[in-house]
Amino acid sequence: MAEPNQPNSDILKDLVKMKMPFGKYKGTILCNLPVSYLEWFYSKGFPEGKLGMQLATIFEIKTNGLEHLLEPLKRNQNYR
């Protein structure tokens, strides 16, 4: 279980391996979605459920300059 104020590593791991299931960027790994697309969701409202939480999380990571947190996870996924 994650400590308060500590990121849940499972959530972050999903961001570097799960693909967008629909829309303009269908098939794009969530961490590779452009900020402009995430900003659009932010203004319109993120989807309900797990995907919405994941999109909101990657939005926060990208808009706060925290993408470096995902780099070790990308390497562990043999991500390119």
Name the residue with higher pLDDT: 13 or 36.
36
Residue 1 lies in a domain: no
* Domain range enclosing 25: 9-76
Is 17 among the domain residues? yes
Q: Dihedral sign for Cα 15, 18, 19, 23, please.
A: negative
Determine the average pLDDT of the residues in 61-69.
94
Q: Mean pLDDT score of the chain, rounded to an integer?
A: 88
Q: Which of 76, 14, 77 is nearest to 51 (CA)?
A: 14
Q: Is the pLDDT of residue 77 over 90?
A: no
pTM of the model: 0.82
Number of domains in the chain: 1
Query: Does 64 reside within a domain?
Result: yes
pLDDT cut 90: percent of the chain above it: 68
